[in-house]
Amino acid sequence: MHIVDWLVLIGTMLAIIGYGIYKTRKINNVKSYLLGDKDLPWWTIGLSIMATQASAITFLSTPGKAYEDGLGFAQFYFGLPVAMVILCIFILPVYYKLNVYTAYEYLEQRFDNRARMLTAFLFLIQRGLAAGITIFAPAIILSNIMKWDLNLTIILTGAVVILYTVLGGTKAVSVTQKQQMIIILIGMFIAAIIIVFKFPADLSFKDSLSLAGKMEKLQVVDFTFNLDKRYTFWSGMLGGVFLFLSYFGTDQSQVQRYLSGKSLSESRLGLLFNGIIKVPMQFLVLFVGVLVFMFFQFQRPPIHFNDANLIKVQQSEWASELDQLEKEFDIVFEDKMTSLDVLSAQIDSKDEAGIVQAKAAYELNLEKDLQIRSQVDSLIYKVDSDAILEDSDYVFITFIINYLPIGMIGLLLAVIFSAAMSSTASELNALATTTVIDIYKRNIKPEGTDQEYLRVSKIFTIAWGIIALSFAMMASLFDNLIEAVNIVGSIFYGTILGIFFVAFFFKKLTNSTRILSLFTMGLFLGIFSTSVLHSTFVETTFPMLYENDVPFVLLSMAIGGILGYWGSGTFFKPINGSSVIVGALIAQIIVIIIFTLDKFEFIDLSYLWLNLIGCVIVMFVSLLVQNFSSSPTLEKSGS
Amino acid sequence: MTENKASEDKPPILGTWNKMYIVVLVAHFVIISLFILFTNLYA
């Protein structure tokens, strides 16, 4: 890397971290440390929320995802603005009214200490694992491409984050995130412009979009109602709402961001700002991936994007086979480019028959391209059976290193490090806060002094940092760890959200209780019936039902909605701590069973739906247990 | 913070929070509509 890039990278990082440490140098009590003096304006909160969610892997993987599958991943975020509005209406005022440090404190006030402990414990497991991955995932990619030592990259990234998080607490996290998010947005925007300028001279931006469209890379919205299809309008709008309600409403790494707001208004504005900006921002990141895809249609891409894998093959007995495949790849690339020129010309002349013919020729070459890549994967597997063959995460970083001008490489690497550090800082801060407030102060030493809690908070931040670093360094020993952590997240989020829904909406019977029950039960039965109708059994035994599923799904949704509305009114009892704990444990077991059935392909279900299923089961079972329980309930009151 | 103070919080523009929420949801609807238009334009 050029010295200018090093200067840009190190200068940007030092400036942000130095600013964070300077702004928080006077913090000397635990409230300031954990809630940041509650003086942050809405734009800092909004950017901080966005920076917490966008980890480095977002900026490495998301363009790679668009490179392979197009823009459809944007639908994953469709439920986010709706979730932001629901949080602002129902949840934020409660947290402010009770003046809590953590989301889980509220559960003790509503239920009892057991419910608070259970939920805090679920959060610590899930977020503790995720913090390690947040550091590991970008480190493995950067170390492979930049030829840096993996453990050194992990330690350096982690140590810097631990340093400023320990010194400045929540406020340091938020003020650095504001700068980091600005760098991220500027960096991605400039990258998009540079890629367009790197297109061939005779290919206009409009032509490149037409070509990308013909290659099916520009389909953002997909209205297909198919539960095993991961990203559709429906999974994003319906499943996504539950995921984001859970993530932003109950995950302390996010709750802590908006609890440090100057007022309820500032926190609300921060969340709404996130609701408006997030979807277009993700679209921009995905669009950069499509532009990179178009760039590599006219510039020969590597035969495999993970350079470390290629080097292993080059140094093995299979080197000559790889050399042969490289030569074949050159020929296919030239043919592919020629077919693209023809396709572009046919699009310009608006000759539909010619377009179809040219597209078929391109697809034939693309097929050959994929076959060669698959043969390369086989060679890599022969050399190292543990190697990760999927290389889409390496697409964007490969482009950055090889094709961006001097100075921009440093800036884009600063983007990636900023994203890694901002997410990790929030996670460590939240893990330490939950450990101190929900466990240490509540159960171990309730009568400690302010200075003692401040000291313990710093110790726990370091401790969680070391745990995350250790986990990140061990991560490469496990197969599919990233997938495993994502699964852990989606399995637990539904249950946690269900506990909070019961806490918020099943205290007394109101219209909100009945409307929530109507929607959740309607959706739940809709998903259940779709899952059954799309099963292999129904497909082979009752093909008529399989082919005409829509009326049955709509009917089951209507029945579910009516049952939910009627049942919540008729059988309502204010739910107590024991009932919600039983509900949460049963929901957790059922979600794990459903996930296992999906894993072994007995059913087809995208993981996004697990959030809704877990949530509904907690609500339903808690109400059921409360009705059959002799334990006391809270006082019932009508709406 | 007391409940009264919480309920007194007003948004800096539009007067009520309900109007703010509607603006966010309408903006989201417009963005999705543009995505649909974009999808159809280049399909």
DSSP codes, A469-527 = HHHHHHGGGSTTHHHHHHHHHHHHHHHHHHHHHHHHHSSS--HHHHHHHHHHHHHHHHH
Interface residues of A toward B, Cβ cutoff 8 Å, are 74, 78, 81-82, 84-85, 88-89, 93, 96-97, 99, 209-210, 212-213, 218-221, 263-265, 268-269, 272, 275-276, 279-280, 283
Asked whether the beta carbons of A412 and A138 are under 8 A apart, the reply is: no
Asked whether the beta carbons of B24 and A81 are under 8 A apart, the reply is: yes
How much is the pLDDT for A516?
Answer: 84
Task: Calculate the CA dihedral of residues A114, A119, A121, A124 and round it to 10 degrees.
Answer: -160
**How would residue B2 be classed by pLDDT, with cut points 50, 70 and 90?**
very low
How much is the pLDDT for B14?
Answer: 86
Q: Between chains, do A263 and B27 touch, taking CB under 8 Å as contact?
A: no
Q: How far apart are CA A518 and CA A525, in angstroms?
A: 11
How much is the pLDDT for A181?
Answer: 82
Question: How far off is chain B from A265, nearest CA to CA, in Å?
Answer: 6
For tokens 């999808």, the residue is B39
CA-wise closest residue to A32 among A429, A307, A445: A429
CB within 8 Å of A79: residues ≥ 6 apart? A236, A237, A238, A239, A240, A241, A242, A243, A244
Nearest to B25 among A81, A218, A283 (CB): A81
Q: How far apart are CA A391 and CA A206, in angstroms?
A: 29
Q: Between chains, do A269 and B12 touch, taking CB under 8 Å as contact?
A: yes
- Chain CA centroid to CA A127, Å: 13
How much is the pLDDT for A576?
Answer: 85
Q: What is the CA radius of gyration of chain A?
A: 26
* Residue A556 neighbours by CB distance under 10 Å: 20
Q: Between chains, do A89 and B31 touch, taking CB under 8 Å as contact?
A: no
Residue A200 φ/ψ region, left for φ over 0, alpha for ψ in the -120 to 50 degree band, beta for the rest = beta
Strand partners, A261: A40
Provide the 8-state DSSP code for A41.
Answer: -
What the block records as the tokens of A562 is 């009516």
Q: Between chains, do A279 and B31 touch, taking CB under 8 Å as contact?
A: yes
Rounded (10°) angle between helices A150-197 and A42-53 = 110
Question: How far off is chain B from A100, nearest CA to CA, in Å?
Answer: 10
For tokens 């806490």, the residue is A503
Asked whether the beta carbons of A212 and A294 are under 8 A apart, the reply is: yes
Q: How far apart are CA A34 and CA A411, in angstroms?
A: 31
Query: Residue A269's closest chain B neighbor by CA?
Result: B11
- Chain A positions touching B37 (Cβ under 8 A) are none
Mean pLDDT in order along chain A per 10 residues (639 residues): 89 85 79 79 90 80 88 92 94 89 90 90 86 82 80 86 83 80 85 90 84 88 77 84 87 89 92 94 93 92 89 90 92 89 82 83 88 92 84 87 88 83 85 91 88 90 91 67 63 88 85 84 83 76 77 86 87 85 92 83 72 88 84 46
Nearest to B24 among A220, A275, A283 (CB): A275
For tokens 């329980």, the residue is A629
Decide if B14 touches A, using CB distance below 8 A: no
Q: For residue A398, give Cα distances in angstroms to A7, A108, A298.
A: 20, 50, 16
Nearest to B32 among A78, A93, A209 (CB): A78
Asked whether the beta carbons of A178 and A169 are under 8 A apart, the reply is: no
Tally DSSP H helices, then E strands, for chain B.
2, 0
Q: How far apart are CA A77 and CA A84, in angstroms?
A: 12
How much is the pLDDT for A478?
Answer: 54
Rounded (10°) angle between helices A113-146 and A450-474 = 50
Q: How far apart are CA A228 and CA A597, in angstroms?
A: 13
Q: Between chains, do A81 and B9 touch, taking CB under 8 Å as contact?
A: no
- Chain A positions touching B6 (Cβ under 8 A) are 93, 96-97, 264
Q: Tell me phi and psi for residue A105, to 5 degrees.
A: -60, -40
Asked whether the beta carbons of A618 and A584 are under 8 A apart, the reply is: yes
Q: How far apart are CA A116 and CA A248, in angstroms?
A: 18
SS3 assignment, position A40:
strand
Q: Between chains, do A220 and B35 touch, taking CB under 8 Å as contact?
A: yes
How much is the pLDDT for A149?
Answer: 85
Q: Between chains, do A78 and B24 touch, taking CB under 8 Å as contact?
A: no
What the block records as the tokens of A422 is 């901002």
Reported in sequence order, the residue ranges of A76-225 that DSSP labels E, i.e. its strands, are none
Q: How far apart are CA A102 and CA A260, in angstroms?
A: 11
Query: What is the ipTM metric for this complex?
Result: 0.87
SS3 assignment, position A559:
helix
Q: Between chains, do B36 and A220 touch, taking CB under 8 Å as contact?
A: yes
* Interface contacts (A, B; CB < 8 Å): 74
Question: For residue B17, is pLDDT > 90?
Answer: yes
Asked whether the beta carbons of A112 and A426 are under 8 A apart, the reply is: no
How much is the pLDDT for A429?
Answer: 87
Q: What is the mean pLDDT of chain B?
A: 82
Q: What is the CA radius of gyration of chain B?
A: 17
Decide if B13 touches A, using CB distance below 8 A: no
What the block records as the tokens of A630 is 């002799």
How much is the pLDDT for A633?
Answer: 54
- Chain CA centroid to CA B35, Å: 17
3-state secondary structure string across A346-410: HHHHCCHHHHHHHHHHHHHHHHHHHHHHHHHHHHHHHHCCCCCCCCHHHHHHHHHHHHCCCCHHH
- Chain CA centroid to CA A372, Å: 32
Asked whether the beta carbons of A439 and A120 are under 8 A apart, the reply is: yes
- Chain CA centroid to CA A420, Å: 13
What the block records as the tokens of A585 is 């444990």
How many Cα atoms within 13 Å fall on the side-chain side of residue A318?
Answer: 18
Asked whether the beta carbons of A248 and A83 are under 8 A apart, the reply is: yes
SS3 assignment, position A217:
coil
C-alpha angle A244/A245/A246, rounded to 5°?
A: 90
Q: Between chains, do A85 and B24 touch, taking CB under 8 Å as contact?
A: yes
Q: How far apart are CA A315 and CA A383, in angstroms?
A: 9
How much is the pLDDT for A267?
Answer: 94
Predicted TM-score (pTM) of this structure: 0.83
Provide the 8-state DSSP code for A638.
Answer: -
Question: How far off is chain B from A63, nearest CA to CA, in Å?
Answer: 18
Q: How far apart are CA A354 and CA A360, in angstroms?
A: 10
Rounded (10°) angle between helices A150-197 and A3-23 = 110
Type and span of the H or E element at A302: none
What the block records as the tokens of A632 is 């006391």
Question: How far off is chain A from B26, nearest CA to CA, in Å?
Answer: 10
- Chain A positions touching B33 (Cβ under 8 A) are none
Q: How far apart are CA A370 and CA A383, in angstroms?
A: 20
Q: For residue A57, give Cα distances in angstroms to A159, A177, A424.
A: 19, 16, 12
Type and span of the H or E element at A282: helix A264-298
- Chain B positions touching A263 (Cβ under 8 A) are 1, 9
Query: CA torsion sign, A227 to A232 to A236 to A238?
Result: negative
What the block records as the tokens of A595 is 């996930």
Asked whether the beta carbons of A227 and A604 are under 8 A apart, the reply is: yes
Q: How far apart are CA A22 and CA A168, in angstroms?
A: 9
What the block records as the tokens of A401 is 């290193």
